[in-house]
Amino acid sequence: MSETVELSIVVPVYNEEENIQPLYDELKPVLDKLRQRYEVIFIDDGSTDESFSELEKLHQRDERVRVIKFRRNFGQTPAISAGFKNSLGEVIITLDADLQNDPRDIPRLLEEIRKGYDVVSGWRRDRKDPFLTKKIPSRISNSLAKKLTGLNINDFGCTLKAYRREAVKDLELYGEMHRYVPALVSWRGFRVGEIKVKHHERKYGATKYNIWRLLKGFLDLLNIKFWVKYSTRPLHFFGTLGVLMSSLGFLIDAYMVYLKIFHDQPIGDRPLLILGMLLIIVGVQFITFGLLSEILTRIYYSNKHVYEIEETLK
């Protein structure tokens, strides 16, 4: 594969044997019309059906099709991360292998990239999924994501996205973080856009989505929120909690001392006294933990930049 590839298509695959050939048949004419040098990278995420055999057939017929095979199922986020790291294109587009994303939306994503956006996310406005098991959880998840990340997009979970290489080249993804890549790159100063895209009903195979992925995604969202806001100053987070707890504990115990000195009330067996002492101890521990986190953060960033340079004038 030439190193002058302009466009990379990254497709995570897990047990989608019936969808692979139809997806390729939809992708190829769209990509050929773009008149850009492209590659299609399929990441076989430990499939247990004949998905890899189908991918091998495509690779043998078309040199622009590349295949990465995982030893086992690691999940969609590691698959997309592997696609980012092994792609050659200046623009990377991700989409699902289940035929629910429409390849004909790719030119529209690229048009937004040409307008100056660094990431363009698809919005499945008319989503063809079960209402209770997918649409409702998705709406809840997207609402929380918008509030916690501050990024005003409507569909964090849509895999159909376009990325400039420079926006994602240094990202370290894990858990269910692939859906929050726009928030991560926005935090680093890149421009994020969104367009409405088509969405189709699944014809073949079974969905890989379940309620546990929603829970894992929420926990990753909290992690991202903390990382975005406090990654370079963890003491501000832990120290604030520690000072508040210690102050509350001090006020409680000061009140207990007041009762003992001025009203001669016994306080040795009062639960409030124990609570005050506990709050002081836990508060001090939070402050100490914040200081240790500051030390670890300084070590982590000692060989890294905490900023992104767009242009240098010399």
Q: Taking the CB of residue 180, how many other CB atoms lie within 10 A of it?
A: 26
CA distances to 26, 120, 312 from 31, rounded to whole Å, are 9, 18, 34
pLDDT at position 312: 44
User: In the chain, which residues have pLDDT < 70?
Assistant: 1-3, 208-214, 298, 300-314
pTM metric for this prediction: 0.77
State the amino acid at position 235 in one-letter form: L
3-class secondary structure, 67: strand
List the structure tokens of 313: 């004038």
Long-range pairs of 166-175 with CB within 8 A, sequence gap ≥ 24: 166/118, 167/118, 167/119, 168/84, 168/92, 168/119, 169/84, 171/81, 171/84, 172/81, 173/77, 173/78, 173/80, 173/81, 173/84, 174/77, 174/78, 174/81, 175/77, 175/216, 175/217, 175/219, 175/220, 175/223
- Supply the angle between the helices 234-263 and 211-230 in degrees, to the nearest 10: 90
State the amino acid at position 147 in one-letter form: K
Residue found under tokens 């080249």: 169
pLDDT at position 39: 96
List the structure tokens of 35: 């008149």
Q: Which residues pair with 39 in a beta bridge?
A: 8
Domain segments of the chain: what residues?
7-230, 234-303
- Residue whose C-alpha is closest to residue 122's, from 150, 148, 159, 87: 159
Residue found under tokens 């009062």: 270
pLDDT at position 304: 56
pLDDT digits (tens, 9 = 90+) for 156-201: 989 999 999 999 988 888 777 888 999 989 988 999 999 999 999 9
CATH 3.90.550.10 given to domain 7-230: yes
pLDDT at position 314: 45
CA–CA gap between residue 59 and residue 45 (Å, rounded): 17
